[in-house]
Amino acid sequence: MPTMSELDQRCVNAIRFLAVDAVERAKSGHPGAPMGAAAMAYTLWDRVMKFNPRNPAWPDRDRFILSAGHASMLLYALLHLTGYDLSLDDIKSFRQLGSKTPGHPESERTPGVEVTTGPLGQGFANGVGMAIAADWLACRYNTPEHPVVDHFIYALVSDGDLEEGVSAEAASLAGTLGLGRLIYLYDDNGISIEGDTDIAFREDVGARFRAYGWQVLGPIDGNDIAAVETAIRAAQRDTARPSLIICRTVIGYGSPEEGTGTVHGEPLGAAHAQAAKARLGWPLEPAFHVPADVLAHMRRHVEAGARAEADWNALMDAYAAAHPERAAEFHAAMRGDLPAGWDAGLDGLFPPGSKPLATRGASGTVINALAARVPILVGGSADLAPSTKTRMDGGGDFTPEDHGGRNLHFGVREHAMGAIANGMARHGGVIPYTATFLTFSDYMRPPIRLAALMGIRVVFVFTHDSIALGEDGPTHQPVEHLAALRAIPRLRVIRPADAAETAEAWLAALRHAHGPTALALTRQNLPVLDRTVYAPADGLRRGGYVLWESAAPPALLLIATGSEVHITLEAATRLADEGLAVRVVSLPCWELFDAQPADYRAAVLPPAVRARVAVEAGIALGWERYIGPDGAMIGVPHFGASAPGDAVMAHFGFTPERIIEVAKDVVRRVAR
Amino acid sequence: MPTMSELDQRCVNAIRFLAVDAVERAKSGHPGAPMGAAAMAYTLWDRVMKFNPRNPAWPDRDRFILSAGHASMLLYALLHLTGYDLSLDDIKSFRQLGSKTPGHPESERTPGVEVTTGPLGQGFANGVGMAIAADWLACRYNTPEHPVVDHFIYALVSDGDLEEGVSAEAASLAGTLGLGRLIYLYDDNGISIEGDTDIAFREDVGARFRAYGWQVLGPIDGNDIAAVETAIRAAQRDTARPSLIICRTVIGYGSPEEGTGTVHGEPLGAAHAQAAKARLGWPLEPAFHVPADVLAHMRRHVEAGARAEADWNALMDAYAAAHPERAAEFHAAMRGDLPAGWDAGLDGLFPPGSKPLATRGASGTVINALAARVPILVGGSADLAPSTKTRMDGGGDFTPEDHGGRNLHFGVREHAMGAIANGMARHGGVIPYTATFLTFSDYMRPPIRLAALMGIRVVFVFTHDSIALGEDGPTHQPVEHLAALRAIPRLRVIRPADAAETAEAWLAALRHAHGPTALALTRQNLPVLDRTVYAPADGLRRGGYVLWESAAPPALLLIATGSEVHITLEAATRLADEGLAVRVVSLPCWELFDAQPADYRAAVLPPAVRARVAVEAGIALGWERYIGPDGAMIGVPHFGASAPGDAVMAHFGFTPERIIEVAKDVVRRVAR
């Protein structure tokens, strides 16, 4: 077993002081964690991990997640030193506008950053998703002779990560499932921003993780390279359990204020930076000093990584020779390609005359149709599959005993579910979906936001999407959630009006390779609109479309989404019977509609028509943009109520009669 | 030790079948959990708990939380049988419009319901907040002779509650703090909606809670009244640790499908309901049967409760005689009254000429001024107090060793923080506040929503409220969060423009006794507006007000909030110099403004003035209502970027120059 050489020591110090100097120069950042955890991270990267700095997308690389994203300079230093496309100038641009070295790691911005981290606990759970994806791919594609998926998921996690509930949820699930690829190094420095972790965090972390079913190693000295390596090797050998390696460290190691909260989140200051360098035997000048032998030593990973990938390519060649179709499918999966013809005929799933059907039910039908065509669709629910209708029949279950199933069981853990799905998507090889009730989207907003920020394909299914869910009452009835989801930049929110739009919604979600989609689906049955009478559902592809009109040009626009569309159509028919030229616009996806050319939008919602009524069983926030100053909104500007769904809907005015009344008022007002 | 008598058995069955029959009649609901947990709950209520059915507000009552809110009929049955104001007709109206028996318990609707539950995990964490409040009050008011605060916090928690991360966060903190009043009964029935809990939840719950520092009792048989009572008594004796009693139960006990997921969330059906009654020896008819001796037995709590409260009143009399001021303060605290003169002079904290100050800093000053006047203000941060500036100097810390401090340390646990604050508010005697960065409001949306639904006074402080926080980058920069919070019904969101508005915001938050308030505060310094030039900050009380105008009537309205107000004023001054009649409106709180009479709103935002520009460093969603069809918004319709705050703000157009440019465009367009 190699021990800590003088060169190792200088490599570790190079990492530490790149972090210190970058934070000094930026006058902002977190030097403490990189200084404390440099040796652990160096051991992992230099002695253990499999990666190719020149191809961060190599499918069989080990994954590394810096869950404590504030320690970003630790990761940037490692990426630079090992030869990724991240220069010393990039390091010097730490936290500057447009740089590749933002304050917290961003996967879209920096080669080698696997996931965007910073909000604590997310990275921890992302790793669980990566391990699920890797295990699933291994079950599907590996053969005894061809272990083409053969990598570990490493993470560096902090006290803060372990205090967050999302990591607790993810850890419990990882232990239950026995995700042996998962190897987490816990940077146990005993310090939080408000002081010693003792003020709020006295639990026995090791005992907790053992209770979850993890292998717990340590505590060891995080500065002891040999001990860290030994522990990681032991973690690798336990393939049936995830491993947590508890590494005792000193935050801000080397600084005069090491071991205190002071060194956590701001520059050391010139004097303390110099003192730390002096104490650890580092040249005081120049800043950003990287000794030639350090660089040479760490840059050997460029060659080693290329060799490792070449070996794997040879393995893939053998695999392709023996199993050409599986190999081709594997490559397509890792690229995220959808099979040819995957979407053919799905628009025929719900022919005219179909019986009324909840959009959650339609979604279930679509999921099952897609499951047969898109082998990499893998997903599940937070213990609500029978209600969300998200089970893939015949897809098998991903269980502790079988990691090859396509139906995931997240337990009642919405937050981890979202973060795990993000990790699956960032691992690649699968297209993940999640499911719960719309009101519980609140439990998983942080990962939804991060999916949008990372621009990854995750499908978030939300059913029971309005007060019409009925008896479960206001705790379960979303009213503000559509607006709150629409608020997230780059997230597409689609609320289909019937079964046919639901199929289109799923197609749109899968076609959208570089961003997440949220689907809002009903609990209650809805008529399947007769598309020989109404416009085809593929109008959804443009976000909103003219579903029906009694005469052109219209004198009144009725705009609705989801379960309110058919009620609105009923009102429109009656208004038309009274001689009004009325148009009904189905507007299932604002983001898609707003992205259409102005002339399309004006054709659907002619600016000259000021009499407009929007109908959606939710708050009005944002609808002003479509109804304009003279329009009206039939919405739910308050919490709901517990009663049968029909009663709730009628009570709050979602009836053709009420729509007609409001519409006539608006027409009258506009005419004045 | 009394054992299970025949009468006990029938009391338990009365609870079970009230639940079964109510669910049958409603054709909706959850019979399984009430049937399985009836004996546990009966034991607690009948043999242990201290309560007065005729005064649910008695300050020293034991608190009971049904964290598994879907088992609402269990609670309603207990409330009815023990003599609360909940009739058999109310039970028969289960889940009907306007009834006192909604699908999930709602504290505002039903006497005896301590907190609104349903979203899993919340009740668990609410109880931790109640225990914190009770301990804090006991430290402040109890004397050795006068234990006026002497009650326990009980909860019934389910597998689902324990899977949720929020309960993990709360449990870890409760263990750290040693909240001995906390006694939780775990309804361990091994069943989840998707099947056996084994599919997703194999952890050793007892070992996990021991790791948190809890006393863990059991597993015991949840149907064994004597065993349950013995365990609760043991829990009461351990005053230094919270206790978890693991009770093995059978979901749907008695039904032909007991022990399966089938009985969880829908009516048993007439046949199975009858079969269960037959098996447990219950009369098949009539439905809602309550034997006279059962009712007599359980209604003795009316008298016992009155006696218990009378004893406590005598204790309070003695206390008042010995400590009149403390007694008066205690009563005022429990009523939530603010001391006379508490708000006097706070408007003078930031006189003209004050140095530039971040509104988080101003908030810190205000909190400290309030702390001296409002003794029941108790709060803290999710490990960010030095950044959120929410520490009460001299207020002491609530630590494992001292439960009398006013500064709470929640650890990095935003979700539990919110739910704990809700529990504190519902316990009474304290006014809780929480603090974290605005972007992390996403981690705590479920409790924010529940605070709004319950109508309770919690102050949610959110700092670092825009992209102007700078270097931490897009993971930490809120852009959609103001909109997402404004979306929550009954929540007031206040984003003050300077220190003086910050003081007014805090006053508004404390005066708002029946609803929560979220404060959005800056990281960066802002000028303290010279109120001899600009309108007084008490305009905030109306949500929005004319801050300044160059001439009346205005030709242009500039509307801004928070840190964008002073930039907007700068632009307005220059536009005025060019001869434009420009008005600047500060709009810190939409909810308050929208609630003003129409004439006030029209006076601030005259409908005739169509040239309007809104300036807020966030998304535009909802601003349409103020800027109208001809206006423009200077916002952030995308994620932010990591760079120094000034650079980010300039990059995204938050400069007087850009405002002037946009304003001139709008004026030109409107003039056409």
Do A621 and B28 make contact, defined as CB atoms within 8 angstroms?
no
Q: How far is B171 from chain A (nearest CA, A)?
A: 10
Band of residue A195 on the pLDDT scale cut at 50, 70, 90: confident
* Alpha helices in A410-496, H assignment, sequence order: 414-427, 445-454, 481-486
Cα–Cα distance, B497 to B501 (Å, whole number): 6
Question: What does the pLDDT look like over B123-154, one tens digit per residue?
Answer: 999 999 999 999 999 999 999 999 999 999 99
**Confidence check: pLDDT of B21 > 90:** yes
What mean pLDDT comes out for the span A513-526? 98
From chain A, the residues in CB contact with B643 under 8 A are 95-99
Cα–Cα distance, B619 to A591 (Å, whole number): 13
**Confidence check: pLDDT of A348 > 90:** no
- Per cent of chain A over pLDDT 90 is 97
Cα–Cα distance, B372 to B365 (Å, whole number): 11
Buried b (16+ CB within 10 A) or exposed e, A381-409: bbbbbbbbbbbbeebebbbbeebebbbbb
From chain A, the residues in CB contact with B411 under 8 A are 163, 192, 197, 199-201
Q: Which residue of A has its CA nearest to B120?
A: A412
* Catalytic residue check, A616: no
**Confidence check: pLDDT of B1 > 70:** no
Query: What residue ranges define each of the domains in chain A, with the CATH number in brackets?
Result: 6-305 (3.40.50.970), 346-520 (3.40.50.970), 538-671 (3.40.50.920)
Q: Which residue of B has its CA nearest to A118?
A: B475
Q: Are strands B377-381 and B407-409 parallel, antiparallel or unpaired?
A: parallel
Q: What is the pTM of this model?
A: 0.98
Cα–Cα distance, B653 to B635 (Å, whole number): 8
Q: Using an 8 Å Cβ cutoff, are B412 and A167 in contact?
A: no
DSSP A565-605: HHHHHHHHHHHHHTT--EEEEE---HHHHHTS-HHHHHHHS
Most B CBs within 10 Å, among A104, A108, A407, A442, to test the B interface = A442
Cα–Cα distance, A363 to B371 (Å, whole number): 54
What mean pLDDT comes out for the span B610-614? 98
Find the range with the poorest average confidence among A191-205, A487-501, A552-566: A191-205
Q: Please count the other Cβ atoms lying within 10 Å of the Cβ belonging to residue A189.
A: 25
Cα–Cα distance, B423 to B404 (Å, whole number): 17
Q: How far is B327 from chain A (nearest CA, A)?
A: 31
Length of chain A: 672
Cα–Cα distance, A362 to A499 (Å, whole number): 5
> Strand, coil or helix: what is A429?
coil
Band of residue A3 on the pLDDT scale cut at 50, 70, 90: low
Cα–Cα distance, B374 to B396 (Å, whole number): 15
Q: Using an 8 Å Cβ cutoff, are B497 and B565 in contact?
A: yes
Q: For chain B, give percent helix, strand, coil, nearest 5.
A: 45, 15, 40
User: Which of left, alpha, beta for B578 (phi over 0: left; psi -120 to 50: alpha)?
Assistant: alpha
Phi, psi of A164 (to 5 degrees): -70, 140
**Confidence check: pLDDT of A2 > 80:** no
Question: What does the pLDDT look like over A270-297, one tens digit per residue?
Answer: 999 999 999 999 999 999 999 999 999 9
Nearest to A127 by CA among A416, A461, A455: A416
What mean pLDDT comes out for the span A600-624? 97
Q: Please count the other Cβ atoms lying within 10 Å of the Cβ belonging to residue A314.
A: 10
Question: What does the pLDDT look like over A61-72, one tens digit per residue?
Answer: 999 999 999 999
pLDDT value of position A118: 97
Question: What does the pLDDT look like over B325-353, one tens digit per residue?
Answer: 999 999 999 999 999 999 998 988 998 88
Band of residue A117 on the pLDDT scale cut at 50, 70, 90: very high
Nearest to B185 by CA among B122, B134, B248, B125: B248
Length of chain B: 672
* Alpha helices in A339-464, H assignment, sequence order: 359-373, 385-388, 414-427, 445-454
Active-site residue identified among B106, B309, B414, B504: B414
Cα–Cα distance, A531 to B265 (Å, whole number): 36
What mean pLDDT comes out for the span A583-598? 98
What mean pLDDT comes out for the span A507-530? 98
Most B CBs within 10 Å, among A383, A625, A633, to test the B interface = A383
Do B160 and A412 make contact, defined as CB atoms within 8 angstroms?
yes
> Strand, coil or helix: what is B394?
coil
By Cβ distance, the residue of A193, A470, A619 closest to B489 is A619
Which strand ranges, in their side-by-side order, compose the sheet holding B582-586? B545-549, B582-586, B556-560, B612-615, B632-634
Do B200 and A383 make contact, defined as CB atoms within 8 angstroms?
yes
Q: Which residue of B has its CA nearest to A446?
A: B442
Tokens describing residue A375 = 């082998």
Do A412 and B192 make contact, defined as CB atoms within 8 angstroms?
yes
**Confidence check: pLDDT of B2 > 60:** no
By Cβ distance, the residue of A103, A442, A629 closest to B629 is A629
Do B168 and A168 make contact, defined as CB atoms within 8 angstroms?
yes
Residues 6+ apart with CB under 8 A from B515: B451, B452, B455, B456, B457, B490, B491, B492
User: Which of left, alpha, beta for B653 (phi over 0: left; psi -120 to 50: alpha)?
Assistant: left
By Cβ distance, the residue of B168, B201, B442 closest to A445 is B442
Query: What is each CA distance from B246 to B37, B186, B209, B222, B587, in whole angstroms?
Result: 12, 5, 11, 8, 52
Do A475 and B165 make contact, defined as CB atoms within 8 angstroms?
no
pLDDT value of position B153: 98
Taking CA B517 as the corner, what is the angle to CA B516 and CA B519, rounded to the nearest 5 degrees?
A: 155
Cα–Cα distance, A561 to A582 (Å, whole number): 17
Tokens describing residue A4 = 């800590």
Q: Which residue's structure tokens are 């007087």? A: B656
Most B CBs within 10 Å, among A251, A456, A475, to test the B interface = A475
H or E element, residue A505 = helix A499-511
Q: Which amino acid is at B185?
A: L
By Cβ distance, the residue of B160, B411, B488 closest to A192 is B411
> Above 0.85 for ipTM, yes or no?
yes
**Confidence check: pLDDT of B498 > 80:** yes
